[in-house]
Amino acid sequence: MRSSPLSLAGVMLIEHTQFADPRGAFFESWNARDFAAAGIDAQFVQENVSVSRRYVLRGLHYQVSQVQGKLIRVLAGRIFDVVVDLRRSSASFGQSVAVTLAAETARSLWVPPGFAHGFLALADDTQVQYKVTDFWAPPAERTLAWDDPALAVRWPLPAGTVPVMSEKDRQGKTLAQAETFP
C-alpha cells in the first residue's frame, strides 16, 4: 500500500497493492497496521454502500457532532470525489480537493474528521463503499452547498446538465452560512 497526502492536511489517496493473475485480482482494502503506519489510526464502526446512476450528486455531507472520518472506495463505476476543509484553525479552511476514483483501480480516499465530503457518479450503477469512524447521527448531519462559488469546485458535468440530487442536498448551506469546526 502506498499513501499520498493531498493538498488538504490529513486527506490521503491510498493506492492498494494489487495482486493479479489469470483468475483476476486481489488487494487488501483495509489493514489496520498498514494504515496506522501511513498515519491513519482509525477504528471503523459502520460501513455503507450507495448505488447511483450517472450524474447523481451526493453531498457535500458532514456531521457537527459524532464527527466522522471516512474511507471511500468505488466497487463499480466511477466518481468525481470532493473534500472540503471545514476546520477554521486550518490554513486550508474552505479549500477543496477532488480526485476521480474508479472500480478498475485499487485506490481509496481517506477523509479525516473535520471535512465535508461528496461525489458525483460518472457512470450508471456506480457503487461506492465507505467505512466511517462514528455512527450516522441525523440531528448532527449537515450539507454544504455543492455549487457554492466560494468553493470553486469544477464538477465534470456536461454543459446544461443538472445533477440528480436529494432535496436535502439541494438545500445545502454556503460556506459562509455553514456550521464549521474550530
Instruction: Give catalytic residue positions.
Output: 61, 130
Q: What is the DSSP letter of 144?
A: B
C-alpha to C-alpha distance for 30 and 42, rounded to whole angstroms: 10
44 φ, ψ (degrees, to nearest 5): -90, 140
Q: What is the DSSP letter of 12?
A: E
C-alpha to C-alpha distance for 29 and 175, rounded to whole angstroms: 33
Q: Which helix (H) or strand (E) holds 5?
A: strand 2-5
Q: In this structure, is the dihedral angle defined by the CA atoms of residues 8, 147, 78 and 135, taken in order, positive or negative? A: positive
Q: Count CB-CB contacts under 10 A for residue 85.
A: 24
